[in-house]
Structure 1
């Protein structure tokens, strides 16, 4: 089923095969995705293709400098001497926060409760968000005009981040020839079945120890870095979801190695983003011994 799901997405998204897979795993784990890239590189198409293939409800919010928190979560108004609640576009399964860092910090903070608690508070009344709920946010590089940095508290709520890969020559020709803009992605995917299967994925204590060792190695060797318990829990849940997509019944060291660079990319400011994955693999993952190797 997951192979067919990925193939359906690839009809609209050229290249970035592993990023499609890990993004599916993130949504299955209830996590959130941050895509950072230049305008016009296909971020929105990528996000819409994922949600369409998973048969989930989808809404898009275009962030601008004058967007207000009430434009996202909703508001109350008086009608016939009665207060009516008008729920905002955040009440959906997958919300695309397009160009998130173009909004003010106050507006960005409207996502904090929803991304962590899966609830929204409107005028002191709290509402449950639909299940599943995930945020796919896109942001322009911070050196572009009209952008503001995301606070660390919000960055830590995103499970993974990445930039879409530059296509090779053959892929670029394929993209230019493509007439797939209006293709409707159809699949038989059912979210509920996947959640039940993820709960049956096992993870050994040695694998948990390996993940903790990675966290300790980073703290000991790189000052002013913070690996939160939330981050470690997200890594475990993401690795389990990736196992499900790979038709595996238990998490191995390899799944941890596969997901850690994506989990840490927006949390660690150690090297330039375009060098980050090589750095994590060469300077961290390859230097932390497996528990069995002690």
Structure 2
């Protein structure tokens, strides 16, 4: 399965095979994705191609400082004294929340219920979102002008976060020579809802779960403050199952946990010292310090 997905996306996404696999695992695990990087590194293009490749209904929301929550969720309009609900762009299978941290706090909080409950509440009425529902959000570095830091409660709702890989000279040259329109990517015939149900059937035994708990305990010992919750553990189990499924395994091994845990933790570590390679730090101070059960 992952081979056909990579083959489809590699026409336009260069040098990021691992991020394609990680993103697909998060999606079929039912999680949302946070892309963190400098402007112009391909975050939006990456998210859009993933959505188009899956053939799901897709909407892009460009966040700005003057947005209102109704611009996202929708609003009630009275016609002949009768209330009519006008759906906002949130009513789609995949939402690309572009530059999420440029939106004001009110708009950021409007996303919370949708991401967790898969529904929105407007004027006291709850409206269910289409299923399946995923958010792929992009975020600019918080030191840039015009950005608002995302609250911890919202960060915790993202299953994983990552940045695009830095391209070497040949990969950059390949992108510059591209002539194809990225809108013309083939839509793969994948039943996402069925796939998500099959992922839930992947076995994750007690030894692997205990290993995940040990990684979490080790995380509490590092020098930086970390956002840890039961949701963190659940996300680790879910995406590990999804990665095992993509690689045609019937059970989770320690390998899936070690590959995904750094990306689950990346946006949950706060106040990291300037210049620290956060993924390298997680690998050295957490993954390598927890022995694999034998």
Could you say which residue in structure 2 is the equivalent of 1:141?
A: 141
Matched residue, 2:277: 275
- CA–CA separation in structure 1 for the residues paired with 2:225 and 2:171: 40
Correspondence for 1:202:
203
- Per-residue CA deviation, residues 136-180 of structure 1 (Å, 9 max, x unaligned), is 000110111111100000000001001111100110000000112
Structure 1 residues 110, 273: closer, same or farther in 2, change over 3 A? farther
In 2, Cα distance between equivalents of 1:208 and 1:110:
33
1:286 aligns with 2:277: no
Kept in 2: contact 1:102–1:146 (CA 8 A):
yes
Contact 2:103 2:147 in 1 (8 A): yes
Instruction: State whether structure 2 residue 169 is matched by structure 1 residue 169.
Output: yes
Question: Structure 1 stretch 57-66 or stretch 282-291: which is displaced more?
Answer: 282-291
- Report SS of the residue matched to 2:186: coil
| Equivalent residues of 1:55, 1:190 under 8 A apart | no
* Aligned-residue offset at 1:221: 4.0
Taking structure 2 as the reference length, the TM-score comes to 0.96
SS at match of 1:287: coil
SS of the residue corresponding to residue 165 of structure 2 reads coil
TM-score, normalised to structure 1, is: 0.96
Contact (CA 8 Å) 2:224, 2:269: kept in 1 or not?
A: no
Select between 222-231 and 58-67 the one with higher mean Cα deviation: 222-231
Runs of at least 4 residues off by over 6 Å: none
Q: Which residue of 2 aligns with 1:179?
A: 179
Q: Alignment partner of 1:95: what SS?
A: strand
- Whether contact under 8 Å (1:60, 1:95) holds in the other structure is yes
Q: How many residues align?
A: 292
How far apart in 1 are the matches of 2:230 and 2:28? 20
Q: CA deviation at 1:273?
A: 7.2
Cα deviation, 1:205-245, whole Å, max 9, x if unaligned, reads 01000000111112134464331101110111011111111
- Distance across 2 between alignment mates of 1:17 and 1:89: 30
The corresponding residue for 1:101 is 101
Q: Is there any run of 5+ residues in structure 1 with no aligned partner, and where?
A: none
Q: CA RMSD in A?
A: 1.4
